[in-house]
Amino acid sequence: MQEHKMRQRIVPYLLLLLFFLSAFSCTQSRRPMAATSLNDTDTIIAKVMNDSGAAVISRLSNKQIDSLNFRIIHHYSENFNFIVKADSLMLVPMLEDLEIDTQYIYRDELIVVASHTLIHNDSIDSVWVKVASDRLAIGWIRETDLLRGVVPADIISVMIDTLSNSRVIWMLGILVAGVVAYLIQRGRRRKLLLLQHEQMDSFYPFLFLILVSLMATVYATIQNYMPWYWQEFYYHPSLNPLVLPLQLSVLVTIVWAVLLVFLANIDEIHHCFSFIDTIYCTLELLAFGILVYLVFSWSTLIFIGYILLPLFIGGAIYYYLNYVRCRYQCGQCGKRIHSKGTCPYCGSNNQ
């Protein structure tokens, strides 16, 4: 019996380890065609930010200044790597590239930015980008067509793009799974996770929802008032908050906290419930998290979220302290109870 419980507790951690190993293998499967972590333009930007901007810019050539402007506005420059996510993209030759025929690049190909130019008489898009693939396909394409069909060649950027494009599907899936779990628990005459105080009086579920509300509010604020920072993060992502601007550093720190607290919730739930109940309670917690995220991400865009956030945080802490936290232990049966008086488990009187 003890061995069976031990196996049940090990299973979630084995699955989590398998997920991280698969994610790591995905990051190792590609080799960049050119160094994208720090090119000449990025070095110039770093010097401008850390040194006297006017002194640095005065030493630049016109071509370097143009590259710097393009890098700041478009968030990428020469030698930047993309992965093709469209089925195919057509590359056409320019006047100076008459020896190049019209070519195509296809899904999952790794391409590198070779150059860019402006065509002012193009009514669709004046910015054209020259790209090359690892199979020597090279040519020009409008920037709008390029960015619509590619994603930066970084696992974090790929995840952001994938989650953004499929957010309706996976959010709705989690909500449906949470509702189904709740209905099954109701059929078994069980309460919601946040209401099962007699079995679990942990603050972790409330802390998880508080962090999710903070994450949604900060993310919506950046999207609404500082979109440039999010676009820069999308093209040059990092999970290290120490190397990011303050706004993004706060967001990434909260994301890490959400992940850590969620893992702590799984461990806490698994110690208080059976393996099957752990699955149902985890799905309920995820569904609650999605609801909180949607409420605060939408309400922040119309300023109501900034009023709801302190009310929600204060309400969650008040509810935990007054209705959930068990500060005493029954002298007769040894179980934790919320207040002195009659024990709800054995009926003995505790003074």
Residue ranges of domains in the chain: 1-30, 40-152, 156-350
Asked if the 40-152 domain carries CATH number 2.30.30.40, the reply is yes
Contacts of 109 (CB under 8 A, 6+ apart): 83, 84, 133, 134, 135, 137
Task: Give the model's pLDDT for residue 112.
Answer: 94
Provide the residue-wise pLDDT of the chain in tens; the chain has 351 residues: 444 444 444 444 444 444 443 333 333 333 344 333 334 555 555 545 455 455 555 566 666 667 777 888 888 988 899 999 999 999 988 756 656 678 899 999 999 999 888 888 888 888 999 999 988 888 899 999 999 999 999 999 999 999 888 888 988 998 998 888 888 877 766 666 666 655 667 888 899 999 999 999 999 999 998 898 899 999 999 999 998 889 899 999 999 999 999 999 888 888 877 888 888 888 888 999 999 999 999 999 889 999 999 999 999 999 888 877 765 666 556 566 666 666 656 656 666
What is the model's pLDDT at position 24? 34
Report residue 37 as tokens: 């972590």
* This prediction's pTM: 0.76
- The answer to whether the CB of 208 falls within 8 A of the CB of 316 is no
